[in-house]
Amino acid sequence: MFKRIGLYILAAGCAYGAAVSQVASSSQTSQANNANAVTTGQAYNANTVTTGASQANNANAVTTGAASQAIDGTTGAASVAPVSRFTEAELAAAVPAPVYTDCQKPGQFVITFDDGPNPKTTPRALQFLKEHNITATFFINGINYGDVENSPATVDLIRQEFNEGHEIASHTYYHHDLFEAIDNGMMEVNIDKMTDTIQEILGVKPIYFRPPNGNGAYPANNNPERQAKNEKVQKYLGAAGYKIIMWGADTRDWEHKDNLDKIIEELNKKLKAPGVSPETHSFIGLMHDVHAITVDIVLPKVVEYISSLGYTYVSLSECLGLPSAYQQETLVSAENSNLVAGDDLTGENLTGKEVDDDSSASIIQIKLVSSFIALILSLFFLL
Ligand SMILES: [Zn+2]
């Protein structure tokens, strides 16, 4: 009698255990596949950013069609399937990223730079800012005038900007116009890759984002196509925790170059508009630290001019009344921010899926333990 009960329990326990371990191994396989799928276009980080130099790393970095096309994607890259970090449901529920063009308090002026760093020019901008005790915001790219994948100087400059108290923000990885990037399936990778790059280098996730050419944040003016693209950009950035920073005082330094009169004239379109003064208005200024003329001539002139009008320089965070330029809840652990070449980034590091994976792993463990107990129990009855 006892033996028969024991045999039943033994048979049931073995069958259950076998079934569970099969589920466990197939779930591991799918997890692994999943990780590969999710991190395509993200593998770049571990290999590229921290070392920044070797060709082998570069080869590793480009693991998918998406990433490889992105390299030279500024020139009408063929469409690829977008790799989204968020599900359709998450994007549908996301709050669109808010758009800022000025500060909370009148009299404030923020210096912001786009498109850098450029090892040939950015150091001189940093020197000037230090001498004048100004905190600026750098909206940086991964690959533009600098190259985080192949130029250690570029990576060092991002660290230097951060260590000298400036705020580091995203301007996309490849400096793609996001409207074009949407058409090419490249919007997501441009946003996510820059987020991850900054996180890899500095250990923080930025909060501020500026779209190249402003596309994605200009009012759509009843243009349904633009409106739909704006929504797509703003929802994705919102899901990724970003705020969009536009500008109120553009120097158009890239156009006017060393023509300082033209640059002041350009600024005056906004600064000297009727009713505008430091008593009532504030400005987010726009320059590009990637041009020698900007850092050597335009920056000193603009800083002197803005001061003479009575504005005070503040950081972007102070301007917006925010405690930090970085997403507090997403600070990475030390091991994540100190990746070295050859380290394998799994989906868990970047996708936030580890909670689900961990919990399913522990359920499997519990099931295996219970079938082991059944085995012991059946042996007890058998003996
Ligand atoms: Zn730009």
Q: Distance from the CA of 104 to the center of ligand 1, in angstroms?
A: 25
Q: In the structure, what pLDDT confidence band is assigned to residue 15 with cuts at 50, 70 and 90?
A: very low
Cα of first residue to Cα of last residue in the chain, in angstroms, is 12
Tokens of 381: 């009855």
Q: What is the pLDDT of residue 314?
A: 98
Model pTM?
A: 0.69
Q: What is the pLDDT of residue 79?
A: 85
Buried b (16+ CB within 10 A) or exposed e, 266-287: bbeebbeeeebebeebbbbbbb
Average pLDDT over residues 207-230: 97
Inform me whether the pLDDT recorded for 19 exceeds 70. Answer: no
Average pLDDT over residues 69-74: 40
Helix (H, G, I), strand (E, B) or coil at 208: strand
Between 344 and 215, residue with greater pLDDT: 215
- Helix 122-131 to helix 152-163 angle, to the nearest 10 degrees? 10
Average pLDDT over residues 322-335: 70
Average pLDDT over residues 303-322: 98
Residues 141-197 pLDDT 10s: 999 999 999 999 999 999 999 999 999 999 999 999 999 999 999 999 999 999 999
Q: Distance from the CA of 368 to the center of ligand 1, in angstroms?
A: 55
Between 320 and 54, residue with greater pLDDT: 320
Q: Distance from the CA of 213 to the center of ligand 1, in angstroms?
A: 6
Mean pLDDT of the chain: 77
Q: Distance from the CA of 114 to the center of ligand 1, in angstroms?
A: 5
Q: Distance from the CA of 312 to the center of ligand 1, in angstroms?
A: 25
